[in-house]
Amino acid sequence: DAGITQSPRYKITETGRQVTLMCHQTWSHSYMFWYRQDLGHGLRLIYYSAAADITDKGEVPDGYVVSRSKTENFPLTLESATRSQTSVYFCASSENGFYGYTFGSGTRLTVV
Amino acid sequence: AQKITQTQPGMFVQEKEAVTLDCTYDTSDQSYGLFWYKQPSSGEMIFLIYQGSYDEQNATEGRYSLNFQKARKSANLVISASQLGDSAMYFCAMREKSGGSNYKLTFGKGTLLTVNP
């Protein structure tokens, strides 16, 4: 199916475990983004990528790792999950970063 | 410092009335873009309207219009003839260049709009 998909939709993990959230888009968009949404904070940018093998830190990158070896995939890894990383995570993509940002359905992550 | 400020955590409006959601921004770029997104209780992010910094006319999309005041760095969303289905969280966002080369999109904290029958 065309579009941007995130997996899993829901995830519960334990403190200290590594967890990877997946994001896949079928449009060959150059730009991809990861945000976390928390009550009272809106959406905060974690990492973004302008093209394959190019990634930049956003506002809240600590505790997260990204990679982008293929244009269509932009996985987000929590190397050692903490309770403060309990959040809803959104992935987004844009063809050129100028306009047309499209969001995935989100992943609700709970760290216990 | 916050780049996007939405000063209204919550707003109430009567059905069929108009409502304005405030957004101010901070950037030193000459070229930037402003977006509004709607997030209903189901959670998806829905694009509503876009205004480029060089656009001379205020953007409009159906019942949505963007009141762009460049000198004041404000980009308020106006929803005319509110409907019950407009009840949602609304986010203002700004696209700007980061480090002079790549674009990024940053968001405000949002305004929760409730439309009363």
Q: What is the pLDDT of residue A98?
A: 92
Å between A56 CA and nearest CA of chain B? 9
Rounded CA-CA distance B79/A5 in Å is: 30
User: Measured between alpha carbons, how far apart are the two ends of chain A, in Å?
Assistant: 33
Contacts of B6 in chain A (CB under 8 A): 42
Q: What are the pLDDT digits (tens) for A79-100? A: 999 999 999 999 999 999 998 9
Rounded CA-CA distance A88/B111 in Å is: 18
pLDDT tens, per residue, chain B with 117 residues: 679 999 999 999 999 999 999 999 999 889 999 999 999 999 999 999 999 999 999 999 999 999 999 999 999 999 999 999 999 999 999 999 887 688 999 999 999 999 999
CA-nearest residue to B99 within chain A is: A56
Contacts of A44 in chain B (CB under 8 A): 107
Backbone phi and psi for residue B86, each to the nearest 5 degrees, phi listed first: -80, -10
- Residue B59 class from Cβ within 10 Å (0-12 exposed, 13-18 middle, 19+ buried)? buried
What are the DSSP calls for B5-56, one per residue?
E---SEEEEETTS-EEE--EE----SS-EEEEEEE-TT---EEEEEEETT--
How much of chain A is helix, strand and coil, in % rounded to 5? 5, 55, 45
Task: Match 């959601």 to its residue by tokens.
Answer: B21
Q: What is the pLDDT of residue A40?
A: 87
Yes or no, beta carbons of A54 and B102 under 8 Å apart: yes
Backbone phi and psi for residue A83, each to the nearest 5 degrees, phi listed first: -60, -30
- Residue A24's nearest CA partner among A74, A76, A67, A83 is A74
Kindly state the average pLDDT of the residues A38-56.
94
In the structure, what pLDDT confidence band is assigned to residue A58 with cuts at 50, 70 and 90? very high
Q: Round the average pLDDT of chain A to a whole number and report it.
A: 95
What are the DSSP calls for A27-71, one per residue?
S--SEEEEEEEETTTEEEEEEEEEETTEEEE-S--TTEEE--SST
Q: What are the pLDDT digits (tens) for A1-44? A: 569 999 999 999 999 999 999 999 999 999 999 999 998 899 99
Q: What is the pLDDT of residue B1?
A: 62
Q: What is the pLDDT of residue B40?
A: 97
Q: What is the pLDDT of residue B101?
A: 80
CA distances from A23 to A18, A28, A41, A75 (A): 17, 13, 22, 6
CB atoms within 10 A of CB A96: 11
